[in-house]
Chain A
Amino acid sequence: MKSKNYYVITEGGELLYVQQTSHPIDVTQQIIDNLCRDTVRRVKNVIPMSCITGDPKSPGCASLTIGASSRLVNMPIFSLNLSTVYLLDGEVLYPSFDSEGPVMPMVWEVPSDMRVFLTVMLSDTLIDLAQYLTAFDPEGRSYRLPLSNLYEDCKLCAGANDIAQGANLVAAAARAWNQFKLSNWQKDLYASQGDAGRLATKSMFRFLPKNEGFEQQRVLGGDWRAHCKKVAVDIITNYITP
């Protein structure tokens, strides 16, 4: 048996004298498992993105969220590969996600006041359960980008692509990353966004043809949050929010 005595000042300013005794008790592994069932451990910035992408120039580090039966790898995204079909609005191109037409491999740089994460949720046997693409403002509020292939809760529609699996967390994350980077954006889930969704897309992802290439234009109105839906689901609020 161990004992210790100490003083505590409470939030209300009260001074308490605490007498504490503790001793080990015999419990079964099942009891320990039940006690730990809802315990989640978060390890921030633990895997350099270069280990996942294979590119030594990749900036940032991925974070891990480890629960009893799942592991989440949160990978920061600084630019989105928006390979899809585009339409011209005046002088500016915007993604239409149409199923027919030439696919253009545009790259959209994430604004400085936005953080975007690709999250892969893996089972304890490292099977890919789901992937999420979530944007955050500087205060940590979560938003759904006005893109196709995204459910209302920011879960990615992986379509008929192979699910990501790997021998370890990094390999599984790398497969999910490569699948995300190499996939074209299609119109899946886009119809349900309606006219408001299309207007938001036009306001966010804008490219001006210039010389031989394209120049990314500022988000219309300056505040990207005006064009994104605020999202709140347990997995984002408690496990993905940076």
Chain B
Amino acid sequence: MFVTITYGIESITKNYDSAPTVSSVLGSASVKAELGFGDNVRALVNGVEQSGSAVLTDGVRLTIETRANSKAV
């Protein structure tokens, strides 16, 4: 099954043997390296934030966004 992962203007399509969870995609070292995001991110499908345990379906587009931090003086 295929999942398209978008970060900013860049996106990649990955082929998975079985349906991955959001956490497994966000924690994937290869996906992180290819798209260049860190740990402080959130994942959305159709504009809706997904939990880490959410299972992704075939053909879905997962949008990863930088999460704004809180003020730390």
A and B from one complex: yes
Chain B contacts for A153, CB-based, 8 A: 66-68
Chain B contacts for A192, CB-based, 8 A: 69, 72
Contact A232 B68 (CB under 8 A): no
Contact B71 A157 (CB under 8 A): yes
One of A56-64, A119-127, A165-173, A234-242 at the interface? A234-242
Q: How far is the CB of B66 from chain A (nearest CB, A)?
A: 5
Chain B contacts for A236, CB-based, 8 A: 8
SS of A interface (majority): loop
Binding site for B on A (CB under 8 A): 139-142, 144, 151-153, 155, 157, 187-189, 191-192, 229-234, 236-237, 241
Q: How far is the CB of A60 from chain B (nearest CB, A)?
A: 22
Contact A188 B38 (CB under 8 A): no
Contact B66 A189 (CB under 8 A): no
When C-beta atoms are compared, the residue in chain B nearest to A142 turns out to be: B8
B52 lies within 8 A of chain A by Cβ: no
Chain B contacts for A229, CB-based, 8 A: 38, 66
Interface size on B, residues (CB 8 A): 18
Cα of A11 to Cα of B27 in the assembled complex, Å? 37
When C-beta atoms are compared, the residue in chain A nearest to B72 turns out to be: A192
Given contacts A152-B40, A188-B73, A191-B73, contact A234 B68 (CB under 8 A): no
Cα of A192 to Cα of B67 in the assembled complex, Å? 14
Chain A contacts for B72, CB-based, 8 A: 189, 191-192
Binding site for A on B (CB under 8 A): 6-10, 36-38, 40, 64-69, 71-73
Name the contact of B69 in the complex, choosing from A141, A187, A189 (C-beta under 8 A).
Answer: A189
Cα of A155 to Cα of B36 in the assembled complex, Å? 20
Chain B contacts for A231, CB-based, 8 A: 8, 66
A-B contact pairs, 17 of them (CB 8 A): A141-B8, A141-B36, A142-B8, A142-B9, A152-B67, A153-B68, A189-B69, A189-B72, A189-B73, A229-B38, A229-B66, A230-B36, A232-B65, A233-B65, A237-B8, A237-B9, A241-B9
Contact B8 A155 (CB under 8 A): no
Cα of A144 to Cα of B6 in the assembled complex, Å? 18
Contact A232 B66 (CB under 8 A): yes
Contact A141 B9 (CB under 8 A): yes
Cα of A139 to Cα of B9 in the assembled complex, Å? 9
Contact A155 B68 (CB under 8 A): yes
Chain A contacts for B71, CB-based, 8 A: 157, 188-189
Q: How far is the CB of B29 from chain A (nearest CB, A)?
A: 16
Chain A contacts for B67, CB-based, 8 A: 152-153
Cα of A175 to Cα of B23 in the assembled complex, Å? 43
When C-beta atoms are compared, the residue in chain A nearest to B47 turns out to be: A234
Chain B contacts for A151, CB-based, 8 A: 68-69
